[in-house]
Amino acid sequence: MAALPDLYERMRFIRRFEETLLDLFSQGKLVGTTHTYIGQEANGVGVIDHLDPEVDVVFSNHRCHGHYLEFTGDAYGLLCEVMGRAPGTCGGKGGSQHLCKGNFYSNGILGSIVPVATGIALAEKQKGTGAVSTVFLGDGALGQGVVYESLNMASLWRLPVLFVVENNHYAQSTPIELELAGSIPARAEAFGICTAELDTTDVEEIHAAAGRAVSHVRETSEPFFLVLHTYRFSPHSKGDDTRDPAEIEERRTRDPLLVAGARLDSAEREAIDARVEERLAEVVAEAEAAPEATPEAAVL
């Protein structure tokens, strides 16, 4: 179980990694698309710290870099993957949204990952591994019916799935009021699933609540539905942002890095920040030096 400096460092690394990606994009060193985790770092770090990458499984979505970095620690593989370099996690085939390493998976079709994570939980339960299958989804993905099909099955079959909803109040350009009716936790409760709901950017609070959620799943082999209200500071993907800048600014006052950083003494924080820069610079340099993915690899 990580202590605050550690949690801060990981959040800081994700933040800077994502900012670096956006830079590389502007420089034309990346193509395709990317969805950054900037602003939501406390969720991924707070939840995944409770998981064991050797045993547990994570299925993530289009906004998966934060989850990936926290679960696998593999920044080099991810950066190479996004840059289309041969040492990328998936040899450049998957790119930003389609990652796989060890017990980590992601896919870019919203909602469709949820039944797969449910099936993973079923398999792990049958095998008796004790694994928790965690799936991350956004408020927008709650529009997809397979989510409810999965909640039903997870509840019926008492599967060890942790559903984590990161409600950042937008689906691409669409504010939540235009895409979601009723209550998020009630949607899981209706299927007889235990829920918890947090509206905070405080990684320690999230960490504590997530700890309870993961324990519940692990101990009872029952699903749990954790709703984390959050916000992203960066645009949906790389480009245009139609949100009110004042709204974003207001949210920035509750930046999870500020909240956690304020609890560290400034020397420690600066040392961490410096370490992060150093590590990141190394990763970027290595990735830039790595060979491009070669067409031969794409041939079956």
Partner 1 sequence: MSATTQRRCVQVLNEALHELFATREDVVLLGEDVLDPYGGAFKVTQGLSDAYPDRVLTTPISEASLFGVAAGMALRGRRPILEIMFGDFIALGMDQIVNGIAKFREMYDDQVTVPLVVRTPMGGRRGYGPTHSQSLEKLLLGVPNVCVVAASECHDLGALLVHAVEDERPVFFIENKLMYGRPSRRPEDGHIGELAVREAGGEYPALTFSGNAFDDASATVVTYGGMLPVVLDAVTELILEHEIFCEVVALSQLLPLDLDPVLESVARTGALVTAEEGTLTAGVGAEIAARVSELAWSDLRRPVRRVAARDGIIPSARTLEDAMLPRVEDVIDVVLALEGVRS
Ligand X SMILES: Cc1ncc(C[n+]2csc(CCOP(=O)(O)OP(=O)(O)O)c2C)c(N)n1
Residues that bind its own copies (CB under 8 A): 143-149, 151-152, 155-156, 178-183, 186-187, 189-193
For 114, 115, 196, 209, the CA distances from 213, given in Å and listed in that order, are 18, 20, 8, 6
Instruction: Tell me which of 57, 141, 153, 161 binds ligand X, using CB under 6 A.
Output: 141
- Please name the amino acid found at residue 219: E
Contact status: 295 vs partner 1 (CB under 8 A) = yes
Q: Which of residues 161-190 bind ligand X (CB under 6 A)?
A: 168, 170-172
Judged by beta carbon distances under 5 to 8 A according to partner kind, the member of partner 1, its own copies, ligand X, none in contact with residue 240 is: partner 1
Please choose which of Mg ion, ligand X, its own copies, none residue 145 contacts, taking the beta carbon within 5 to 8 angstroms, the exact cut-off set by kind.
its own copies
Regarding 65 and contact with ligand X (CB under 6 A), the answer is no
| Ramachandran area for residue 194 (φ above 0: left; ψ -120 to 50: alpha; else beta) | beta
Q: Could you say whether residue 195 binds partner 1 (CB under 8 A)?
A: no
Main-chain dihedrals φ then ψ at residue 59, nearest 5 degrees: -120, 125
Q: Token pair of 217, please?
A: 């799943």
Task: For ligand X, give the closer residue by CB, 219 or 247.
Answer: 247
Report in angstroms how near the CB of residue 120 gets to partner 1 at its nearest.
Answer: 4
Beta strands in 224-282 (DSSP E): 224-229
Is residue 110 involved in binding ligand X (CB under 6 A)?
Answer: yes
Residue 168 binding: pick among partner 1, Mg ion, its own copies, none (C-beta 5-8 Å cut-off by kind): Mg ion
Q: At what angle do helices 145-156 and 113-127 cross, to 10 degrees?
A: 20
Site for ligand X, rule CB under 6 A: 35, 62-63, 108-110, 138-141, 168, 170-172, 236
